[in-house]
Amino acid sequence: MFGARLDLPLARDGSGRFLPWIVALMVYLASLALAGTLVVADAVSRWDRGLTGTLTVELPAAPPGRSDGAVEAALKVLRATSGVTRADAFDAKRTAALLAPWLGTEIDAADLPLPRLIDVQIEPRAGVDLAALAERLAAAAPGAQLDDHRRWLNRVLRTALAIEIVAGVVVALVGLSAVVAVIFATRTGLAVHHGIVEVLHLIGARDGYIARQFEWHALRLGLKGGVAGLLLAIATLVGIATAGSQLSALDDAMRVLPALSAPAIEWVTLLLLPIAAGLVAMLTARITVLRALKRLP
């Protein structure tokens, strides 16, 4: 395919020399933007899956030194509710472990006026009426609040959507820049080889025959630059992933950062970027040449 005989010496053009570099840079930026989108989408999806069917009941801190029975009352309501599969109160040890990243392990959580938490698991398809449950909980244990994490998750989803939109705009701008670069290189090639193009035209070459010469050349340069850009992006992503795992190993708090992971099938879309770059270059060159040839008699 790439060994196709060309009547035009396009490979020697100076205009073609910089095109793979531009395409490489574009594919590099697009790969990073796309990888960012995949990672964020995967993290949101994992959080969403993890939080679906879980609820947290938060009760005000008990009066110092005594129990007010609010936890037991709330657990009773929860366990009596159809669709609730599990309801466990956080004990002092588990609460202390949650606060350890911020307060350290030296402080005894029992000495602090901390809200008490109940971890609740529900059957997602059971259709539990959360508003009614919240009312019953508030009646049984004054001040009890039911959190289905939806508000937090919605905020995360909005942020993820914003990241995806920005990444999409980056990819679109990068693609547009690549198209402009190919148009410029193709027009330069047409100007440099105007004499040969005219001879081909006059001996009866169809516009498609002449355009094909530029198409193959643009496809080759686009793929070459695209593969280089992708390899560079893969190296960068591997570097980021390695640095991220080393940070996580050093400090547990860094585990809140999303891991650089996404389903393998989605990473395959990155491998399609060089092919897309080549095809965009090819199509752009074809359209540019066909439009220019229409001006010939």
Residue whose entry in the numeric block shows the structure tokens 């705009």: 169
x/- mask, another protein, residues 9-48, rule CB under 8 A, reads x--x------------------------------------
DSSP H or E run through 120: strand 116-122
Residue 137's CB is within 10 A of a number of other CB atoms, namely 24
Asked if 64 touches another protein (CB under 8 A), the answer is no
> Residues 37, 160: contact at Cβ < 8 Å?
no
Choices 2-10, 32-40, 158-166, 237-245 (CB under 8 A): range interacting with another protein:
2-10
Residue 208 φ/ψ, nearest 5 degrees: -60, -35
Residue closer to another protein (CB basis): 125 or 294: 294
Which residue in the set 89, 163, 205, 231 belongs to the binding site for another protein (CB under 8 A)?
A: 205
Site stretch for another protein (CB under 8 A), options 14-22, 26-34, 136-144, 198-206? 198-206
The residue within the footprint of another protein, chosen from 112, 161, 202, 254 (CB under 8 A), is: 202
Cα–Cα distance for residue pair 35/262, rounded to 1 Å:
9
Which C-beta is closer to another protein: that of 46 or that of 206? Answer: 206
The nearest distance, CB 3 to another protein, in angstroms, is 14
Burial (CB count <10 Å: 0-12, 13-18, 19+), residue 19: buried
Report in angstroms how near the CB of residue 203 gets to another protein at its nearest. 5
Nearest to another protein of 150, 206 (CB atom)? 206
Q: How far apart are CA 17 and CA 184, in angstroms?
A: 12
Non-local CB neighbours of 210 within 8 Å, separated by 6+ positions: 197, 200, 201, 289, 293
Q: Which stretch binds another protein (CB under 8 A): 5-13, 30-38, 119-127, 238-246?
A: 5-13
Alpha helix (H) residue ranges in 141-254? 150-192, 194-202, 207-250
Region near another protein per CB under 8 A, out of 76-84, 190-198, 216-224, 241-249: 190-198
- The single residue among 156, 196, 283, 290 that binds another protein, judged by CB under 8 A, is 196
The yes or no reply on residue 199 touching another protein (CB under 8 A) is yes
Interface with another protein, residue 51, by CB under 8 A: no
Q: Which two tokens stand for residue 41?
A: 């989408």
Q: How far apart are CA 279 and CA 222, in angstroms?
A: 8
Which spans of this chain sit near another protein (rule: CB under 8 A)?
A: 5, 7, 9, 12, 195-196, 198-206, 209, 294, 297
